[in-house]
Every structure is written in structure tokens, then in C-alpha cells.
Amino acid sequence: MHPTDTGLNWRTNLYYLETRDFGETWVTVEGQPVETPLTGRDNPALVHDYAAEGLNVYMKDIRFDAEGYPIILYITSKGYEAGPANDPRTWTTARWTGSAWEILPAMTSDNNYDMGPLYLDPDGSWSIVGPTQTGPQPYNPGGEMAMWTSPDRGKNWNIEKILTSASERNHTYARRPVNADPGFYAFWADGHGRKPSQSDLYFSDSAGTVYRLPRVMNGDRAKPEQVQ
């Protein structure tokens, strides 16, 4: 929800709807049908009223567990402006248990648009790959990339590995490939947060080894450079 006259960067509240017939009808997580569009702040799709807490909400990812229940990953902050005044930027998960939303904080970073995906790993653990570490342009989107894991569905998070360090430019917008080989676990780009710059493409395997793609390829194949 964008509060009136506050601009598109100011967004708050968390909502969830799903469709089971390719968009013909929409229902809440409990299966209650709703009429769209939803135009009011308070409606059946509301997961959590962050506006009442004075917090903004920035979506990152959504996954579905083995039972088909949604898990939403997002960042909350005190405002839309960059800088330390609106800290903490808290990565948060909202998991539907079948009867209620379980909302839990994870880690923090320094920009609303720090971006990373949520993984539901085969062993039952969760993982996040994202720019949670302070980068060379603090409080701009991105930073240094890290891999985090949770063994207990978001209750506790441990930093598994720092993926990048001593970078010239911030890394961000990590993406989770669909049905990919474990050697292509996450991919992202870098760029200077405060001025035009070149941008390189990176990917990591599931163990956290990072590779940078060559800037020039003279054939159909080229070998990536291992960063760590």
C-alpha cells in the first residue's frame, strides 16, 4: 500500500492473495474468496499492519513449502530515504503455518532495495543469498554478498559464508535460478552505488564459491574466473 501523496518509494503493509484458477478468482490464504481490486487499507488479504507500526515494507521473494503454504521474504524499515536514520532494515519472513502467519526477523542490512532470494533446500533448511554485509558504497542498494542458513524455518539464522569482500562496487539483486544445477545456485551483478560504472555478472554454487563472467567472449563458450 502506498499512503496518499507519499510517492512510490513509500510502501507499507503486507498483503497476500492467491489464485487457484489462473486468475479467474482470488482467495485469501485461508481460501476466502475476495472481490478485486482491493482498494482499502484494511481488507481480508492483510497479513500484517506495518503502517500501524510506522514501518515500510519492501518485497524480496515468495516460496511455497511442501504443503503448498506460502513463505514471504521482505525488508522492513522506518522510511523510504537512504541513510542511517531509517535503520534497521530488517530482513523478515512471514510463513503460513496452516492456521496463522508466523512472522520472524532474520538479519539486517543498510538499504531498502538490498535484494536476495529465499531457498527451501532439500534437507529442510532455508537459505538466503543477499548483500547483507556493508559494501564500498554504504547505504546505497547492495553491498557485499553473504550466504545465510536457517535450520528451523526462520527462527534462527547463521551466516554460512561471506561470498564477496573488498569489492570496488556494490553487489545486489541476487536471483535464484529455477531447476538449476547446484553449480549455478545464485547469480547477480555489481555496480557503483553513486555514479555510472561498469557492471560485472557473477554466480555462485551451492557451497558459496563465486565466479565472475568474462566481459568479452570470443566464442560460444568461455571460462568464468573464480573470485574466491
pLDDT bin (cut points 50, 70, 90) of residue 14 is very high
Q: Which CATH class is domain 55-226?
A: mainly beta
Question: What pLDDT does 114 receive?
Answer: 98
pLDDT bin (cut points 50, 70, 90) of residue 4 is confident
* Mean pLDDT, residues 33-37 taken together: 95
Question: What pLDDT does 8 receive?
Answer: 78
Supply the mean pLDDT for the chain: 96
Q: In whole angstroms, what is the distance from residue 100 CA to residue 36 CA?
A: 23
pLDDT > 80? residue 6: no
pLDDT bin (cut points 50, 70, 90) of residue 138 is very high
* Mean pLDDT, residues 93-102 taken together: 98
The arrangement of strands across the sheet holding 170-175 comes to 170-175, 186-191, 201-204, 210-212, 225-226
pLDDT bin (cut points 50, 70, 90) of residue 162 is very high
